[in-house]
Amino acid sequence: MTAVTTTHPEAFRPALHYTARNTWLNDPNGLIHHQGLYHLYYQNNPLGNTWGNMSWGHATSEDLTDWTEQPVAIPCDQQEEIFSGSIVFDSQNSSGLGTETTPPLVAIYTSAYKEASPLNGLQAQSLAYSLDGGFTWKKYAGNPVLNRNSANFRDPKVFRYDGGAGSYWVMAAVEAEEYKVVLYKSEDLKTWEYLSSFGPANATGGIWECPDLFVLPVDGNPLELKWVLTVNLNPGGPNGGSAGQYFTGDFDGIKFTSDSTVTSGGQDPDRLQEYNWLDWGRDYYAAVSFSDAPDGRRIMIGWMNNWDYANQIPTSPWRSPMALPRELSLATVDGRTRLVQNVVAEASSRHAAPAVQSQPIHLTGETRRIPASVGPVQLIEADFTPGTAEEFGLIVRGSGTEGTRIGINPGQGRLVLDRTASGDTDFHDGFASVDTAPILARDGRYRLKIYVDHCSVEVFAQHGELVLTDLIFPDETSTGVSIYAHGGSATVESLTITPLV
């Protein structure tokens, strides 16, 4: 571990990722594309940079790349905090909250009731609506619209279902401590009818939160569709703390049926590696997708932090970034349907000319620094073929005393991200970690696409079959990239390093 010597408070603010200007954020909420803008709402403490006073912050972007922070959208008050939820465009004004000529955006959020409320201690679902494209909001007078008399009923994701069972709104929410996703339907967003529940299944090492339910074609075939149910849990992730998992299957308008369940009921710790994880890293949580993204795209954003140490990360005056937006698809991998994730194409608008573009490099028991200055914010694309090495890979944000190791151990079939010497790790005793994920060669190669920012590393392996996201807090002068092979030989077939700012 090396203590960071950088002193100015903005040292770790990302160049590529969204952060609030001077406050705390966590779960993305109400993601929607509307009237040419992507709207990113999020859990926000407008009064400080640690968790509390939960309200909906707001940012907008035309391209998912450059974000403009807007005023707080839905603030907490004496009666309730505004927990997570979603937004739909009620184009037919089914709710009656707009007009035929001005249909509303409707936010469905969790009211976390406080001592001043007669519903103190309960969580229930409520509505707010906007008639100006999502910039100002008014709470519905009839709130809450769905109350199960539960203290842990939250995080509604609402979408329009059109299928064999009919046409109506569907809500996926959680009973967090029961490890269940509960499904409801409505004609008008105000009156809800119970449909079914899903769970417990697969990972149940922590409470379930922030579900999402959507359909995607398999292998790009529009005639072969599968539904994807994502649900986040805290703790219980594959490398500790909060994380997200997903299930594939079918939704008939009433019930979700999984075809990827490994264990039902309580989880089997010995089978944790068999579950489908959205991200194997420590810092990708509460991920949900945009409603109404153009061209039928399914775009997801997660919170890039971990509840194990979220309030302690060494940033000021802001705290917590969002991960880069990812475009999702389904592919058949080794006979199974897998979720494939890649950073949205819009992010390529930042690309400059590559600073490094190498021919094959053969390594034998060595670490070799790449002699180029590319700055701290980089896109690294590397293809490796194994030889006799026990492990090979890269060290990013490196200097003589610190660096983050991203390695492949082919004998164990593991991708490794070691941040124990990444920079400042002393702020929490659970931060320094060596995180791993299962990986297999494809056509004899290992392909890595790595986005490096001032405080993060996002590794997309094997064309997005596997993702591993971790925060790091290196000294701002630690910008070097090295390649290595330990215990034998390996070949870097290609290496491209592109500065992104």
Task: Decide if 14 contacts 376 (C-beta within 8 A).
Answer: no
Number of H helices, E strands in the chain: 0, 32
Which residue pairs, CB below 8 angstroms and at least 24 apart, start in 405-412?
406/448, 406/450, 406/457, 406/459, 407/484, 408/384, 408/439, 408/446, 410/386, 410/441, 410/446
Amino acid at 385: T
Within 13 Å and on the Cβ side, how many CA atoms surround 321? 26
DSSP character string of 332-386 = EETTEEEEEEEE-GGGGGG----SEEEPPEEEEEEEEE------SSEEEEEEEEE
Distance between CA atoms of residues 70 and 40, nearest Å: 10
Distance between CA atoms of residues 108 and 113, nearest Å: 15
Q: Residue 411: is it exposed, middle or buried by C-beta count within 10 angstroms (0-12/13-18/19+)? A: exposed
What does the block give as tokens for 49? 């940079």
- Nearest CA among 494, 501, 496 for reference residue 372: 496
Distance between CA atoms of residues 3 and 30, nearest Å: 38
- Nearest CA among 100, 99, 97 for reference residue 137: 97
Q: Residue 91: is it exposed, middle or buried by C-beta count within 10 angstroms (0-12/13-18/19+)? A: exposed
Within 13 Å and on the Cβ side, how many CA atoms surround 320? 29
Instruction: Kindly report the number of other CB atoms within 10 A of residue 26's CB atom.
Output: 23
What does the block give as tokens for 492? 């870097």
Q: Kindly tell me the sign of the dihedral angle through the C-alpha atoms of 205, 211, 215, 219.
A: negative
Instruction: Kindly report the number of other CB atoms within 10 A of residue 119's CB atom.
Output: 17
Distance between CA atoms of residues 28 and 85, nearest Å: 9
Which of the residues 27, 155, 308, 424 is marked catalytic?
Answer: 27
Is 212 among the residues known to form the active site? no
**Residues with active-site annotation:** 27
